[in-house]
Amino acid sequence: MGIVGRKRGFLALLLPICFAIMLGRFPTVLGLNYTEYRQVSSLRLERIKTHLDQINKPAVMTIESPDGDIIDCVHKRKQPALDHPLLKNHKIQRHPQEMPKVRMMKEDGARDEKSNEVVKGAWQMWHQNGTRCPRGTVPIRRSTMHDVLRAKSLFDFGKKQRRVSLTRRTDAPDVVSGNGHEHAIAYTGAQEVYGARATINVWDPAIQVVNEFSLSQIWILSGSFDGSDLNSIEAGWQVSPELYGDSRPRLFTYWTTDSYQATGCYNLLCAGFVQTNSRIAIGAAISPISSFLSNQYDITILIWKDPKLGNWWMSFGDNTLVGYWPAELFTHLADHATMVEWGGEVVNTRANGEHTSTQMGSGHFANDGFGKASYFRNLEIVDADNSLSSVEYISTLAENTNCYSIKSSSNNQWGTYFYYGGPGNNPQCP
């Protein structure tokens, strides 16, 4: 890892694209074709460049990660969040006025009573040699021309497709809505919720085609599932070749206030999320990761509403504050959440007329258990008193248990937890 210069003119961005066009295709990553032959007009390239100039802010320092990412250390008052029209006069909150009140929790290194393998915390790859962003800056993963060109359009870059409602997901979502999103989730709702926490082990599930993804996350939700006003705050890890250009698991965030139609985005790819931490890069690769029948590495994510100012904060790992979603962004979530979901999601495009072989979690079914299946442990919610408490009752849902499954339980050590995931396409999941 080293420090690199930031000199990159339009020509430097344009040349790789021109070569790709002359070759008739774009490059491949880990055997996945980004796209077949596609003409890219000079007008489109100019629009992409303008957009990249908006989100890639001038850096105080730049760090080259061993995985190929470029991390720009941007002054915190120059970050993309503050470009949002609702945040024009926003004063950055340095830290929450009040942390959730917590019971004594087990530290990383706690052993699952069913296994002798130690559960360990996972960290990030870009600062493995000790290089950090200077004080007063925030690390931002630089977006490239190729990142945008892998998306369906400039508008779609960094955005999720609209999801189907919970009430309709008893049928296969690609049959109901055509968007192909499938889930294995636990959820609790019908109450006032002010945050949630969970510890998730990290894997690198195989992705069949570039425009599919596999993620594991927490959803904080309020609004109408079948309308256009759903508010959602999300965080976890994901593998998305289309978004990142590789198949590494990465820390991600997401938000929307209109059911994924126009507002919000992944990470810092639009204005909104205010980052306050100089050591964690949203969108950067997580390392190390879990191995089959070996060490399990996990991350802890907490999202909660600051009772004083109303901003939704996120912490990562051992209560390390990452940043927050300002209250001004939201409608329903300006007050509280009404549902929390934990679990996995994949996109099934049925590229070959069959169910995708994109894996969820570890690629193993829930019944395979510790060291094989992926898990969420110590599920907790934040109540109106800003107190964290273990979730006692959850419902679980998987659209097609022959493809991806979920199994919940509880014990004194892991509280409420569940295993989830699966291989996708198999003889029982055609």
CA 163/CA 160 separation, integer angstroms: 8
Give the amino acid at 146: H
CB 231 within 8 A of CB 326: no
> Residue 150 corresponds to which amino acid?
R
Rg of the chain (C-alpha set): 21
Neighbours of 368 (CB within 10 A): 18
Please count the CA atoms within 13 angstroms of the CA of 342 that sit on its side-chain side: 32
Q: Is 242 a catalytic residue?
A: no
Q: What is the DSSP string of 243-271?
A: HHSS---EEEEEEESSTTSSS--BTTSSS
| Residue 133 CB-half CA count within 13 A | 25
Which letter does DSSP use for residue 50 in this model? H
Determine whether 412 is exposed, middle or buried from the number of CB atoms within 10 Å of its CB (0-12, 13-18, 19+): exposed
Helix (H) or strand (E) holding 20: helix 10-23
Which of 331, 339, 405 lies closest to 375, judged by CA? Answer: 405
Active-site residue (options: 234, 341, 380, 399): 234
Give CA–CA dist 114/290, Å, rounded: 17
- Concerning whether 399 is annotated as a catalytic residue, the answer is no
7: left (phi over 0), alpha (psi -120 to 50) or beta: beta
* Closest to 285 in 3D by CA, of 256, 343, 245, 230: 245
Catalytic residue (one of 182, 212, 345, 399): 345
Question: Is 213 exposed, middle or buried (CB count within 10 Å of its CB: 0-12, 13-18, 19+)?
Answer: buried
CA distance 17 to 148: 11
Parallel/antiparallel/unpaired status of strands 296-305 and 119-121: parallel
Q: Which residues are catalytic?
A: 234, 345
